[in-house]
Amino acid sequence: MTLPPNALTRIRRLTPHTYAEGGVVYWMSRDQRVNHNWALLAAAEYARQQSTALSVVFCLAPSFLGATERQYSFMLKGLREVEQALARHGIPFILLLGEPPHEVINYCERNRIGALFTDFSPLRVGRHWRDAIATSLTIPFFEVDAHNCVPTWVASPKQEWAAATFRPKITRHLADFLTPFPELTTFTSPTVPSTDWERIERSLTYDHSVPAVLWCTPGEQAAQQALNRFIAERLTGYATHRNNPARTAQSQLSPYLHFGQLSAQHIALSVQVSTAPETDKEDFLEELIVRRELADNFCFYNPHYDSFAGLPSWAQKTLNEHRDDPREQLYTREQLEQAQTHDPIWNAAQQQLTQDGTMHGYLRMYWAKQILLWSATPEEALAHAIFLNDRYQLDGRDPNGYVGIAWSIGGLHDRPWFQRPVQGLIRAMTAGGITKKFPIHEYIERVTKNH
Ligand code: FAD
Ligand code: FO1
């Protein structure tokens, strides 16, 4: 296997050291898959060139941004499959337990590792992990953007204002980057999976009060099946129906994308060759590529991606001007969490979130915008929305989540609209508007009947 030229720009060097000797390790974090993974492919190619062994480590952190059993059980089932698939390629998988910087550094030193690869995440926690490792290690350490179709640092060198400014930059690169993946090398002999997953799951101390969900089967194989079903059954009509909460018209692939169990580039290539109408393909690729990669752009270039300070200045100004406006309702975080508001649409969306770990995409915007109206300050609204989103969504703790919330509450990537109480110039969404557009009672009945 040799990597195509575009793959080289996906790789960033995090340490200046040169390779001397020893095996190669891919520290897997955000991209938890064996297929279509540029970080794994780059590590494998490096190991082949140095005629040395490759192994993959994953470090299970004792806590991760409030993740609960819902997210951990999904992730661990996916990782079991990763171990088995790697074994078929003769690549050992090692599960480390503890704080990633400490465990990864120790692992590399104990095993005299010669080069380290990892995948890319724009979120603070992952960047702190990578920085700490880069400062301690004296071997080459590479970061590979295996998550985005166009690597974040190639797409744009700065924070973009809106999809309109980002779209032409991404589009210019797409022909270069939307290319097929090479085959992953198989190393000398098959290895035997050896992680005691039951023991590890029993030993974990994560929050069990938010249970796993059944609608989304974890793992790469289930992810591929979900993609096949979406393309065969729902891609046609996506443009027309995706915003209708009463229908299941979206792909429901976001949990797989969040945990890296499915590659966005592989999805895009599969959608491009499908026979669905061009308008449906275009609309879907706009969400999958432009909107999703714009979220990574924001979190990469704006260190305040999850707070008031990260919002555009016009939005901060208008929200500050309306700080003291009287609120028609004020709800506590507990009332919100338990779906105890006066608004049946909002309550149904919140129930879908707590019970199923998901929420229809259109209602996510409405849901967050009402939290602004019902909170004492915009800061509190952001904190409540991020808390609830990260605790209950299967796809939470993702750049898409921070950006979706900042868009809804703080006008990010949007423009000023009309003056309204509390929201100021932030775009409004009303229950009346939703009821006029969609048969929302069907959604409310479906969600509340299931619970
Ligand atoms: P589809 O419509 O099938 O789209 C395919 C993929 O495109 C999605 O899986 C996602 O990766 C991407 N995508 C779609 N819409 C957006 C968008 N608006 N912005 C960025 N990427 C998008 N997405 C998350 O992945 N995790 C979150 O925690 C999250 N929280 C959100 C919170 C709020 C308040 C808002 C407004 C949006 C949030 N989103 C989040 C973005 C979006 O709503 C979801 O990605 C989408 O609804 C997931 O469903 P799907 O996979 O069926 O989407
Ligand atoms: N990545 C890790 O490397 N180790 C973890 O223990 C871990 C837990 C985790 C829990 C919930 C969740 O949504 C994601 C989790 N991830 C974990 C993946 C994580 O999203 C990425 O590694 C980050 O992007 C890093 O910034």
Whether 27 is in a domain gets the answer yes
Residues 76 and 98 in one domain: yes
Rounded to the nearest integer, the mean pLDDT of the chain is 96
Parent domain of 331: 308-450
Whether 70 is in a domain gets the answer yes
Q: Which ligand is nearest to the CA of 39?
A: 2
Whether 209 is in a domain gets the answer no
Mean pLDDT value of segment 220-224? 98
Residues 318 and 236 in one domain: no
Q: pLDDT confidence of 191, banded at 50, 70, 90?
A: confident
CA of 164 to the centre of ligand 2 (A): 30
Q: pLDDT confidence of 279, banded at 50, 70, 90?
A: very high
Q: Which ligand is nearest to the CA of 30?
A: 2
Rg of the chain over CA atoms, in angstroms?
Answer: 22
- Tell me how far apart the alpha carbons of residues 160 and 153 are, in angstroms, rounded to a whole number: 12
Whether 187 is in a domain gets the answer no
Residues 252 and 264 in one domain: yes
Q: What is the CATH number of the domain that holds 241?
A: 1.25.40.80
For residues 59-77, one letter each, b for 16 or more C-beta atoms within 10 angstroms of the residue's C-beta and e for the rest, the string is bbbeebbebbbbbbbbbbb
Tens-digit pLDDT profile for residues 116-133: 999 999 999 999 999 999
Give the strand pairing for 115-119 and 93-97. unpaired
Residues 130 and 255 in one domain: no
Whether 207 is in a domain gets the answer no
CA angle 201, 58, 49 (to 5 degrees): 150
pLDDT at 190 over 80: no
Mean pLDDT value of segment 405-423? 98
pLDDT at 193 over 90: no
Task: State residue 449's pLDDT score.
Answer: 82
Q: How far apart are the first and last CA of the chain?
A: 51
Residues 292 and 275 in one domain: yes
Task: State residue 427's pLDDT score.
Answer: 98
Q: What is the CATH number of the domain that holds 62?
A: 3.40.50.620
CA of 214 to the centre of ligand 2 (A): 21
Tens-digit pLDDT profile for residues 360-410: 999 999 999 999 999 999 999 999 999 999 999 999 999 999 999 999 999
Query: Which residue, of 106, 132, 147, is where some domain finishes?
Result: 147
Task: State residue 188's pLDDT score.
Answer: 82
The dihedral built from the CA positions of residue 354, 359, 362 and 364, taken in this order, carries a sign that is positive
Query: Which residues form the pocket of ligand 1, taking CB atoms under 6 Å from any ligand atom?
Result: 242, 250-254, 257-258, 287-288, 291-292, 295, 361, 364-365, 368, 389, 393, 395-396, 398, 400-401, 404-405, 407-408
Please provide the DSSP assignment of 98-130 as one string. S-HHHHHHHHHHHTT-SEEEEE---SHHHHHHH
Ligand 2 nearest-atom number relative to CA 28: 3
- Residue minimizing CA distance to atom 3 of ligand 1: 251
Residues 156 and 135 in one domain: no
- Higher per-residue confidence, 8 vs 23: 23
Residues 21 and 106 in one domain: yes
CA of 441 to the centre of ligand 1 (A): 23
The helix, strand and coil proportions of the chain, stated in percent and rounded to the nearest 5, come to: 50, 5, 40
- Tell me how far apart the alpha carbons of residues 121 and 206 are, in angstroms, rounded to a whole number: 22
Ligand 1 nearest-atom number relative to CA 361: 47
Percent over 70 (pLDDT), the chain: 99
Whose tokens are 């945990």? That residue is 259
Ligand 2 nearest-atom number relative to CA 71: 11
Closest alpha carbon to 61 in 14, 29, 84, 83: 29
Q: pLDDT confidence of 421, banded at 50, 70, 90?
A: very high
pLDDT at 450 over 90: no
Q: pLDDT confidence of 15, banded at 50, 70, 90?
A: very high
Task: State residue 332's pLDDT score.
Answer: 98
Whether 197 is in a domain gets the answer no
- Residue minimizing CA distance to atom 30 of ligand 1: 401
The tokens describing 174, both together, are 């797409």
- Tell me how far apart the alpha carbons of residues 361 and 143 are, in angstroms, rounded to a whole number: 31
Q: What is the CATH number of the domain that holds 424?
A: 1.10.579.10
Residues 121 and 162 in one domain: no
Residues 167 and 277 in one domain: yes
- Tell me how far apart the alpha carbons of residues 133 and 131 are, in angstroms, rounded to a whole number: 5
Closest alpha carbon to 259 in 58, 403, 86: 58
Task: State residue 204's pLDDT score.
Answer: 86
Ligand 1 nearest-atom number relative to CA 395: 26
Query: Which residue, of 279, 301, 323, is where some domain finishes?
Result: 301
Mean pLDDT value of segment 136-164? 98
Residues 271 and 403 in one domain: no
Residues 132 and 158 in one domain: no
Percent over 90 (pLDDT), the chain: 93
Tens-digit pLDDT profile for residues 42-68: 999 999 999 999 999 999 998 888 899
Query: Which residue, of 267, 301, 335, is where some domain finishes?
Result: 301
Whether 378 is in a domain gets the answer yes
Q: How many domains does the chain have?
A: 3
Ligand 2 nearest-atom number relative to CA 123: 26
Whether 193 is in a domain gets the answer no
Q: Which ligand is nearest to the CA of 143?
A: 2
- Tell me how far apart the alpha carbons of residues 102 and 265 are, in angstroms, rounded to a whole number: 32
CA of 253 to the centre of ligand 2 (A): 17
Q: Which ligand is nearest to the CA of 101?
A: 2
Task: State residue 225's pLDDT score.
Answer: 98
Residues 376 and 397 in one domain: yes
Task: State residue 17's pLDDT score.
Answer: 98
Query: Which residues form the pocket of ligand 2, taking CB atoms under 6 Å from any ligand atom?
Result: 29-30, 59-61, 64, 67, 71, 75, 100, 121, 123, 125-126, 397
Q: pLDDT confidence of 205, banded at 50, 70, 90?
A: confident
Q: pLDDT confidence of 7, banded at 50, 70, 90?
A: confident
Q: Which ligand is nearest to the CA of 28?
A: 2
Assign 329 to helix, strand or coil.
coil
pLDDT at 299 over 80: yes
